[in-house]
């Protein structure tokens, strides 16, 4: 289990992480989401002792990462697959990890098989690896100590569709066996498929957190009409609260059947009416983090 309590990180006058608290539980995959610059990577670096927090704590099964006697046996970490030593072979990198952790040499070949790196690929210099191959090697390094906790920043980046499916199955199986997975990714569909819990951050603060089921259920109904103003007035007159989704539609917590009846009685022709779960995480993410999107998603 990973426990984050009142975590704050300042760089000069910049507040990168602003008093956040959440838990990533054992046996579950926790998706950690937010726009670029929201504070995700800073938080994950603090978790593994690479950055010292201004205040607050992060503990892993009740202990700070810096206090773990042999961290790789308890926490598997992948923060940047491109940071591996370019002049070493994939096998050499795993051998160094195996020796440093005091593991049997057999773990190296086991991990190469788990991540599907062939003997020929394992003998190549990392500088000749594709990004997808580096991700596989990074996962092998994170798993070699058979840890109870995984902290992964964009592990599917650079993987092809088959590789993404492989990654999904690997992490799902790991959590189902009792492991803790904290996963950051910009591939929102993949997070929606695999995650049990979601923590969403924007401007360094948590904007939403809970189980995936709870959050997507709260999303309510998505409705759209050619006359959006008339539709919004009709729903408001019924006492229903609406929120723009950023692409011309409206979201309301009301059931889709009620929204349809309101529109019919008001004489508003609908062009779209569906449960918000149909679009799911992406729509919720864009709405909740619209103020922090670099691409300027309309409010």
Please report the DSSP string for 219-248 in residue order: T-EEEEESSHHHHHHHHHHTT--EEE-SSS
CATH of the structural domain 2-211, one choice from 3.20.20.30, 3.40.50.300, 2.40.30.10, 3.30.465.10: 3.40.50.300
Looking at residue 218, what is its pLDDT?
Answer: 60
The tokens for 156 are 């599917």
Looking at residue 277, what is its pLDDT?
Answer: 57
Low-confidence stretches of the chain (pLDDT < 50) are 278, 294-299
Q: What CA–CA distance (Å, rounded) separates 71 from 86? A: 24
Looking at residue 107, what is its pLDDT?
Answer: 96
Architecture of domain 220-279 in this structure: 2-Layer Sandwich (3.30)
| Domain spans, the chain | 2-211, 220-279
pLDDT tens per residue across span 251-296: 887 778 889 999 999 999 999 998 775 456 776 777 666 655 544 4
Q: What CA–CA distance (Å, rounded) separates 23 from 69? A: 23
66 and 47 Cβ atoms separated by less than 8 Å: no
Helices 131-143, 161-176: axis angle to 10 degrees equals 10
CB count in 10 Å sphere of residue 126: 19
Looking at residue 55, what is its pLDDT?
Answer: 95
Looking at residue 297, what is its pLDDT?
Answer: 43
Looking at residue 278, what is its pLDDT?
Answer: 46
Nearest CA to 268 out of 242, 288, 245, 298 is that of 242
Looking at residue 47, what is its pLDDT?
Answer: 95
- Asked, colleague to colleague, whether 2-211 and 220-279 share their fold, the answer is no
Burial 230-263 (b: 16+ CB within 10 A, else e): ebbebbeeeebebeebeeebbbbebebeebeebb
| % of the chain with per-residue pLDDT over 90 | 61
**In whole angstroms, what separates CA 185 from the centre of its chain?**
4
Looking at residue 75, what is its pLDDT?
Answer: 96
103, 114, 60, 179: CA torsion to nearest 10:
-120
CB count in 10 Å sphere of residue 68: 17
Looking at residue 296, what is its pLDDT?
Answer: 45
Q: What CA–CA distance (Å, rounded) separates 30 from 95? A: 30
């Amino acid at each position: 289990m990973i426990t984050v309590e009142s975590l704050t990180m300042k760089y000069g006058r910049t507040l990168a992480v602003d008093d956040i608290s959440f838990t990533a539980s054992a046996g579950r995959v926790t998706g950690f989401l937010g726009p670029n610059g929201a504070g995700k990577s800073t938080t994950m670096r603090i978790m593994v002792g690479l950055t010292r927090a201004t205040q607050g704590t992060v503990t892993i099964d009740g202990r700070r990462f810096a206090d773990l006697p042999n961290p790789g046996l308890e926490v598997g970490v992948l923060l940047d697959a491109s940071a591996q030593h370019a002049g070493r072979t994939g096998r050499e990198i795993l051998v160094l990890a195996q020796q440093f952790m005091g593991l049997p040499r057999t773990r190296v070949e086991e991990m190469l098989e788990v991540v599907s790196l062939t003997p020929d690929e394992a003998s190549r210099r990392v500088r000749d690896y594709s990004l997808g191959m580096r991700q596989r090697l990074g996962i092998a390094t994170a798993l070699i100590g058979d840890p109870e906790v995984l902290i992964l920043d964009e592990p599917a980046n650079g993987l092809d569709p088959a590789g993404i499916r492989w990654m999904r199955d690997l992490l799902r199986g790991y959590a189902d066996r009792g492991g803790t997975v904290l996963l950051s990714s910009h591939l929102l569909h993949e997070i929606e498929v695999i995650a049990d819990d979601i923590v969403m951050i924007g401007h360094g603060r948590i904007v939403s957190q809970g189980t995936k089921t709870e959050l997507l259920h709260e999303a309510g109904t998505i409705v759209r009409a050619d006359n959006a103003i008339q539709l919004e007035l009709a729903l408001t007159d019924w006492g229903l609260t609406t929120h723009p989704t950023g692409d011309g539609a409206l979201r309301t917590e009301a059931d889709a059947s009620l929204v349809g009846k309101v529109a019919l009685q008001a004489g508003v022709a609908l062009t779209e009416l569906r449960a918000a779960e149909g679009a799911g995480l992406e729509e919720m993410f864009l709405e909740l983090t619209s103020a922090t999107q670099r691409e300027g998603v309309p409010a």
